[in-house]
Structure 1
Amino acid sequence: MNAAMNRAWGTQGLGTRLRHVLELLEGDVAKFEEDLGLEDYRPRFTPVVRALVAEGPLSIRDLAEAMAVTHSAASQTVAQMAKRGLVALEAGVDARQRIVSLTPKTRALTPVLESEWAAASEAAGQLEAELPYPLTDLLTAIVEALDRKPFRDRIAETPSARGLT
């Protein structure tokens, strides 16, 4: 990293840094997927496809739980995938419930996707080997710490936040 980038990082918050790392990782995964001819596929679709491969058709609520994201995030991703013909939506038992399933198009892509996932996992392992500590362990620790005490509470307890509320 050059000196200018080091100075810029000094002014950036945790969220900005996390988003930047995610942009770098997802951007390169997307480029690799394009190299494989998967122009219509996005890295953010992978958790949906993996959950549906493992579990079969799921409601959006169950899919969100399997992906560890909000219902809204799962619904938005599913909508993008449906527009591309990667998933199909059907009404569930309850008219408000929607069941998501893979389309034949996506099932046909699954062998290539599974190979890409394996390659990305190997690359992540290589990246972690270069780091002073495993990134997955650190991210797990962050989630556990935030489960114990949400960031909102942590912000509210700071001296800077006193008098704001």
Structure 2
Amino acid sequence: MSDFDYSRSFRGQALAARLRRASDLLDRDGTRVYAAQAVRFEQRWYGILRQLIANGPMSVGAIAKVLRITHVSVSEASRSMEKAGIITSAASPEDGRKRNLVLTDQGRALAADLAPLWGAFNAAADELNTEAGDLVALLDRLDDALARKSMYDRIVERLPSLTESSFDDT
């Protein structure tokens, strides 16, 4: 097997692939840590759980907005958190038609048990960030660049103009 790294060879052209790979590696190692500690916890639950700890009951939409992820991502993760007994949903006191996610007693106990482990995660993340030359600052710059102009817009402006007739079968 060769040591050739296909994605790395494409430099910035493989940006999305490299970010996915880094995310997969970090998630896989996090999952291994939880498993080694005999804790049933999914990486995708962390942001939601932290929001509920910090803010109390919140809607899926409010969590998605704070975390800057999709409503669908929060909904999917929250369903599995509910099945695990970590959260439940309850009618919003402001609007009974809306549902809020609420930590259960089991969820609060899990968060308390995981606090030391999360301290180790945070210290390791800080170490890795420093070793990588303050990657977080670069990711902030990437977020800002995407806020100024999306990848979609950057791609579309490079495509030749297409007319509706280009899509006709006749």
Structure 1 portions without partners, runs of 5+: none
Alignment partner, residue 53 of structure 1:
53
Alignment partner, residue 108 of structure 2:
107
Of 133-142 and 108-117, more deviation after overlay is shown by 108-117
| Distance in 1 of aligned mates of 2:76 and 2:6 | 36
1:23-62 aligned at under 5 Å gives the runs: 23-39=24-40, 41-62=41-62
1:61-80 aligned at under 5 Å gives the runs: 61-80=61-80
Alignment partner, residue 143 of structure 2:
143
- For the 8 Å contact 1:89–1:98, the answer to whether it is kept is yes
Of 92-101 and 75-84, more deviation after overlay is shown by 92-101
| Distance in 2 of aligned mates of 1:139 and 1:129 | 13
Alignment partner, residue 121 of structure 1:
122
Q: Map Cα deviations across residues 88-131 of structure 1 (whole Å, 9 max, x no partner).
A: 01122545421101111111111232222221111011112222
Report the Cα offset of residue 8 of structure 1: 4.8
1:74 maps to amino acid? V
| Distance in 2 of aligned mates of 1:67 and 1:116 | 22
Highest Rg: 1 or 2?
2
TM-score computed with the length of structure 1 as normaliser: 0.87
Of 43-52 and 109-118, more deviation after overlay is shown by 109-118
TM-score computed with the length of structure 2 as normaliser: 0.85
Q: How many residues align?
A: 159
| Distance in 2 of aligned mates of 1:106 and 1:9 | 40
Let me know the Cα RMSD of the aligned residues: 1.8
* Structure 2 CA distance for partners of 1:164 and 1:83, relative to 1, 3 Å: farther
Deviating beyond 4 angstroms after TM superposition, the runs of 4 or more aligned structure 1 residues are none
Alignment partner, residue 167 of structure 2:
none
Report the Cα offset of residue 76 of structure 1: 1.3
1:98 maps onto 2:108 in alignment: no
Structure 2 portions without partners, runs of 5+: 164-170
Report the Cα offset of residue 137 of structure 1: 0.8
